Amino acid sequence: MADWAVGETSAVDEVDALAGDAFPVALRAAIRASGLSLDRIQYRLRARGLTISVTALSYWQSGRRRPERPESLSALKHLEEVLGVESGSLTALLGPPRPRGRAQRAPAAISMDALWDNKDQLGPLLSRMDLASDTALTRISQHDRVEIAADRGEHSIKVRQVLRSEQDGADRWISLYDVARPGNPLPRIVPLQSCQLGRVAKDPEAGLIVAELLFDRPLARGETVIMEYEVASDGPPYPRNDDVFCRRFRLPTRDYVIEMRFDPADPPSYCHQVATPAEDVSASARREMVVDASGHTHAVALGFGPGTFAVAWGWHD
């Protein structure tokens, strides 16, 4: 299923832009005309003492969100200068503030297989699951811990989620996993907290596994659950799955954290994150990730989804 730019913005900083809004159209045109990448724009804004993430810039130009808070509106004035457009020309396109809170338009859910390349193989596996609870669950937070073994294979992924039920009776989470290299051994889905394993469907040739994680009891409307599970590979040797981890979000997640842990004696030569909104793949944003001396790196995404959040790494040897 997936680190967007390190969390310098959030869903409460900007509200969703309406389809066809003139602001993102004008902003995209100004960015193209400037010849600057989002990373370079962020760098120039930072030189002016402004902290605006690549994520925020990407969201603004895609129309997914727009600047609303005073800090964002102030940054927009500097952005106009960086892009070389007339002062106030972008700000004037924003119009009045839009409603906040639960009444604002929520992004529509996309189908569970929409973000997967191998949906033809995934569909039959999903058909064996009870999917009724999925859209009733608000994704409050998700924390992934990905451990890469000393042999550079994928040792494990530990997942911690906080979910809230929006109706009575939601009783399960559906976990999907793709080994990236068909033919690699499939991992085990291991419940750790507040859940137990239900039905499991596998397609070893396609490298896919789908599992139901049943809550300890059905949730009442408004009730939350903190669940944990692990995607564990057998080894050593541990399977090497293209040196990429991708989390796919069919619905927004308020708070997403991904940690990567490598062998300190063999850190990767490079590591970066790529976040892609489902509605506009051209708005994909990339950011380098620094691996520290202990072999650890992380990233945070706030208010992300639907879309994919990937981390890629590798060695030059």
Instruction: Residue 293: give its domain's CATH number.
Output: 2.60.40
In SS3 terms, the chain reads as CCCCCCCCCCCCCEECCCCCCHHHHHHHHHHHHHCCCHHHHHHHHHHCCCCCCHHHHHHHHHCCCEECCHHHHHHHHHHHHHHCCCCCCCHHHCCCCCCCHHHCCCCCCCCCCCCCCCHHHHHHHHCCCCCCCHHHEEEEEEEEEEEECCCCCEEEEEEEEEEEECCCCEEEEEEEEECCCECECCCEEEEEECEEEEEEEEECCCCEEEEEEEEEEEECCCCEEEEEEEEECCCCCCCCCCCEEEEEECCCEEEEEEEEECCCCCCCCEEEEEEEECCCHHHCEEEECCCCCCCEEEEEEEEECCEEEEEEEECCC
Lowest mean pLDDT among 32-41, 124-133, 288-297: 32-41
pLDDT of res. 98: 55
Considering the chain, what is the average pLDDT of its residues? 85
Are 195 and 244 in the same domain?
yes
Read off the pLDDT of each residue in 55-77 and give the average, rounded to a whole number. Answer: 81
Phi, psi of 204 (to 5 degrees): -60, -35
In this prediction, residue 151 has a pLDDT band, given cuts at 50, 70 and 90, of: very high
Q: Are 141 and 91 found together in one domain?
A: no
Q: Is the peptide bond before 182 cis (omega within 30 degrees of 0)?
A: no
Question: pLDDT digit string (tens) for 182-204?
Answer: 788 999 999 999 999 999 999 99
Is 7 a residue whose pLDDT tops 70?
A: no
Indicate if 63 and 182 belong to the same structural domain.
no
pLDDT at 103 over 50: no
Which of 106-115, 151-160, 266-275, 303-312 is least confident?
A: 106-115
pLDDT class of 10 with cuts at 50, 70, 90? very low
> Does one domain contain both 66 and 125?
no
Q: What is the pLDDT of residues 199-220, one digit of tens each?
A: 999 999 999 999 999 999 999 9
Residues 49 and 193 in one domain: no
**112-137: average pLDDT:** 90
Token readout for 45 is 């804004």
Q: Is the separation of the CB atoms in 177 and 134 below 8 Å?
A: no
pLDDT value for 96? 56
Per the domain annotation, does 11 fall within a domain?
no
Q: Are strands 253-261 and 137-148 parallel, antiparallel or unpaired?
A: parallel
Residue 8 domain-assigned?
Answer: no
pLDDT at 15: 33
Q: How confident is the model at residue 51 (pLDDT cuts 50, 70, 90)?
A: confident
Query: What confidence score (pLDDT) does residue 16 get?
Result: 36
pLDDT interval class at 59 (50, 70, 90): confident
d(CA 304, CA 317): 34
Residue 181 counted as domain residue? yes
* Confidence grade of residue 108 (pLDDT, cut at 50, 70, 90): low
Task: Extract the tokens encoding 196.
Answer: 């137990």
Shared domain check, 41 and 188 = no
Q: Which of 20-24, 72-76, 264-268, 294-298 has the lowest mean pLDDT?
A: 20-24
Q: Does 79 share its domain with 164?
A: no
Shared domain for 71 and 194, answered yes or no, is no
Check whether 135 has a pLDDT greater than 70: yes
Mean pLDDT, rounded, for 163-168: 94
Asked whether residue 99 carries a pLDDT value surpassing 70, the answer given is no
Question: What's 49's domain CATH number?
Answer: 1.10.260
Residue 12 is assigned to a structural domain of this protein: no
Burial of 128 (0-12, 13-18, 19+ CB in 10 A): exposed
**Do both 172 and 222 map to the same domain?**
yes
Count the domains in the chain: 2
Q: Taking a C-beta distance cutoff of 8 angstroms, is the pair 199, 129 a contact?
A: yes
Domain that includes residue 202, residue range: 119-314
- pLDDT, position 65: 80
Better pLDDT: 151 or 53:
151
Q: Tell me how far CA of residue 219 lies from CA of 109, 199, 207, in angstroms.
A: 21, 19, 32
* pLDDT band at residue 104 under the 50/70/90 scheme: very low
Average pLDDT over residues 5-9: 30
306: Cβ contacts below 8 Å, ≥ 6 apart: 107, 109, 110, 114, 115, 249, 250, 251, 252, 277, 278, 279
What's the one-letter identity of residue 313?
W
Is 160 within the bounds of a domain?
yes
Mean pLDDT for the stretch of residues 258-284: 92
Whether residue 193 is found in the same domain as residue 151: yes
Q: Which comes out higher in pLDDT, residue 253 or 113?
A: 253
